[in-house]
Amino acid sequence: MIFHRQDGRVLLELETDSEGVLSTKWPKDTKHLSFIKISENEGEMLREIITWADISEHDLFEKVSFTSSECGCQQIDFDLTSLASSNPGYYISGLTNQREIVTGTTISSLCNSSDSTLLFIDNGSEQDVRAGLFTTDDGSIVIPNDSDFKLAGDRINLPNSLYEQSLTIFHINQNGQVMSQSSKPMYIFSHDTLKYYLNSESNTVASSEFNWATHSNTTQIIEMSGDIEPYQPIDLTTALEAAVTQFSEEATATVSPSFEFASVDPRIDQIQFYVSWRDPSNGKVQWRFNGKTSGSFPDFWLGSQVQQGVAGATPVSNYLQLNATNFSGEYEAYVRYLHQANRNIYTDFNTDFLSNSTYFRVDGILDR
């Protein structure tokens, strides 16, 4: 965490005491606060700077990310020889992005920055599906055994006619949510620290007036019996399409486009605007601005080096996203909830907060 000026000059870095409690006092008249986050995904190192343009405005924040191919985090090795001997023909999930058959070889889990990892095994026919939690903070080779997978999975009862495009959270890792397609049966595991909810995607709709699409999802609690209730997707309205079209025209004609979406559809509670480019100094860069449903976007700023990259970059892609989560609570509480869910390894999700809510997203791309 860094306190800084608008031009990016650092005023003060965060300090904590021996118990991890924030001990730094905010510098006088500080209005700019950034969090620097480093993570890894499929061999690429992602550096993100999350910036509050004005810390007195809690509903507005920006996010800049830099992606490179360097990876300097710890590698954890898993020796599957014992598991392959006791469980021939079984599959394992959680080591990579793929479900793999268990063999007597050592598999590396790249850049594991957490102190524990969830793994899953199944016997192919999915009559035996179990989860196990493994400690990875000491850097030694992990040797999973059959007895380590103590959490039995309960199959989720999905009506195929309604959930052909369904996704569900399979587990939470240090990089966020790992999804499992519904082409395979989905399971939940009875564990006090794990909460699951279903995320069901509707059909995508394209507009001839604007390069965009709509996606509708419903978030629900999955009972431990595996039972859920059907959902009703949200359809695109003419008024909403007109508002997005107006925004797209203004976004290409003005520096700080204004927007107004709350009046055309009260379900929309968040707007996100992305600007992406690539330049020699910074590599692949993305700037994201989050805010409420009415207002205008600020001019981009984050130090002279990045600003020069924006000015000289070609092409620059602009991407608009509207969110309607239908959550119960204030906007600030919703933002805090999303941040907590994203940064914690095993978050005890407050699923009541988003129970039976509808997530509606409008995506649009404008290329310069």
Domain boundaries, the chain: 2-71+233-367, 76-194
What integer pLDDT is reported at residue 237 of this predicted model? 72
**Per-position DSSP letters for 49-69, written without gaps between them:** EEEES-TT-TT-EEEEEEEES
Q: What φ, ψ does residue 303 adopt, rounded to 5°?
A: 85, 155
What integer pLDDT is reported at residue 168 of this predicted model? 41
Q: What pLDDT, in 10s, does the model give residues 101-114?
A: 888 777 766 555 55
Q: What pLDDT, in 10s, does the model give residues 30-84?
A: 666 676 666 665 556 666 666 665 555 544 555 566 665 554 556 778 889 999 9
What integer pLDDT is reported at residue 146 of this predicted model? 94
Reference 45, options 74, 16, 9; nearest CA is: 74
**Per-position DSSP letters for 298-357, written without gaps between them:** PPP-S-HHHHHHHHH-SS-EEEEEEEE---SS-HHHHHHHHHHHHH-SS----GGGGTTE
Residues of the chain predicted below pLDDT 70: 1, 4-33, 35-74, 96-98, 108-116, 126, 139, 154-236, 251-257, 267, 279-282, 297-319, 323-368
What does the longest C-alpha to C-alpha distance in the chain come to? 65
What integer pLDDT is reported at residue 265 of this predicted model? 72
What integer pLDDT is reported at residue 222 of this predicted model? 56
